[in-house]
Amino acid sequence: MPERKRVAVLADSDTRWKWGALTARRLVPDHQLTGFLLRGRATPTARQLGEVGVRADRLSEVTCAEFLAEIERERYDVVVLALVGGAVQAVLHGARALWPAPARRPVLVTGYVGVVYEKLADGLLLRHGADLVLANSRHDAQRFRAVYEGVGADAAAVTETALPFLGGAPYEPVGSRAHTVVFAVQPSVPDSRADRAYLLERAAGHARRHPDREVLIKLRSKPGEHTTHLEEQPYQRLAEKVPGGLPPNCRLVYGNMGEVLDGTDLLVTVSSTAALESLHRSIPTAILTDLGIREALGNHHFLGSGCLASWDQLDSGLLPTGDPIWLAAQGVLPAPGPDRGTDGAAANRPTGHLTDGATGHLTDGAAGRATDGAAGADAYAVARAKVAGLLAATRLPSPAPYYTRTTAPGYLPGILARHHLAPDGTPLPGAARPAAGESRLRRRLRGHLREAARGAYRHGVQRVAPVIRRLGEL
């Protein structure tokens, strides 16, 4: 029996942990997974990890310097960096400092968790230097290569794949009516209180106009929790101020998005990656235009998709369907399935796992659904072959990021310093705290202090900052 490959995933939020762990499963199907959560403002809670539902053989919270010490000490075959660009760059420079010459080192993989609609050049150049930079579609792969080639950097690492969590049963409607409408909200899009309140009130209004429909407001996190993006105006608090309250057929829900989609007839969002999951399953999907089609909202990414619509149009019965050419370019071709329109199919469809705060892990069957190939094809075959080739090599060259002290002397040192690394990528004194010799009581006390500080920060973001901002507008 060949020895199982050892894979480490370093993530800085719940969604990136999901992406990283499922990507590892695609790249190295038979592996031993060790998970690491990068300590920071978006470190997920146990409830958030339970909702994501992807388990690791071991999971711990670390700093960048501690993670570098781990991969130097332990021999991992593959390292998946599911992080924001600056953190990826820090780890790449840290790895370069660990292995300054060709050596036996882990294969370094990174990419994006969803739709890439802002900071394209900045984010990509911060990821340059990894052995594989995964692109979620042909469209993204072309854009990524163009950025790297435009600065004269090697673009060979760019590898076309697909979102690893595309999957699930294809949609089977009953007649021409939508029975369950899901509004997938986002932590920071839109960002203003007025715009978020408007969208929530329109969702509630849709429920009032269609009492035969159930309208679910699919939330990303609870107040006090953080995800990839800061959420200053949680929908839970806005819902408390909806005039007349939410109607009986409109409610707030949590849950794994894949399972929520099992019972969805219409997915509505501004620009959430959930739209791609929905379109993959041929569920009618609406990208809202109520607040305009703007880069700041991210809905410009869906130009040509056939899904742009307003709440007025949805109120009138519109059920948008994706354009096949656009779907193919985005790597979101619908999964093959039986003939559409079989009467009674929806009655036998799973209702989805919706919780009002209950914790719990995704079942193995549900986790498996999240890794099915896009449109029945193996979108990860090329990436898997690249990883296998790198693993077979006796030695790998030292990581060579585009940003160096020569190409970005006024930018790179600040990025590294935020992660307690020196300009040459080595940890600053005291950055990597040795666990040996520290008592259990001291570790526990340090953990409680860290959680208290994190809670104070989140309270400041969601409670204090909005008040100060409103006072400044007086």
Alpha carbon distance 45, 436 (integer Å): 26
pLDDT > 70: percent of the chain:
78
pLDDT in tens, 126-138: 999 999 999 999 9
Alpha carbon distance 423, 96 (integer Å): 12
Alpha carbon distance 27, 38 (integer Å): 22
pLDDT in tens, 355-375: 333 323 333 333 333 334 344
pLDDT in tens, 59-97: 999 999 999 999 999 999 999 999 999 999 999 999 999
Q: What is the pLDDT of residue 53?
A: 72
- Give the residue from 450, 255, 198 showing the smallest Cα distance to 458: 450
Q: What is the pLDDT of residue 227?
A: 57
Q: What is the pLDDT of residue 466?
A: 59
Alpha carbon distance 269, 108 (integer Å): 33
Alpha helix (H) ranges present in 192-245?
Answer: 193-209, 235-239
The count of other CB atoms within 10 Å of the CB of residue 39 is: 15
Q: Which residue has the tokens 């909200």?
A: 185
| CA diameter of the chain | 70
Phi, psi of 350 (to 5 degrees): -60, 145
pLDDT in tens, 225-268: 555 555 678 899 999 999 889 999 999 998 889 999 999 999 99
**Across 380-387, average pLDDT:** 97
pLDDT in tens, 183-218: 999 988 999 999 999 999 999 999 999 999 999 999
Phi, psi of 285 (to 5 degrees): -135, 130
Q: What is the pLDDT of residue 355?
A: 37
User: Which residue type, as a one-letter code, is found at position 42?
Assistant: A
**Given a cut of 60, is residue 3 above it in pLDDT?**
yes
- Give the residue from 114, 103, 108 showing the smallest Cα distance to 16: 114
DSSP 453: H
pTM for this model (two decimals): 0.82
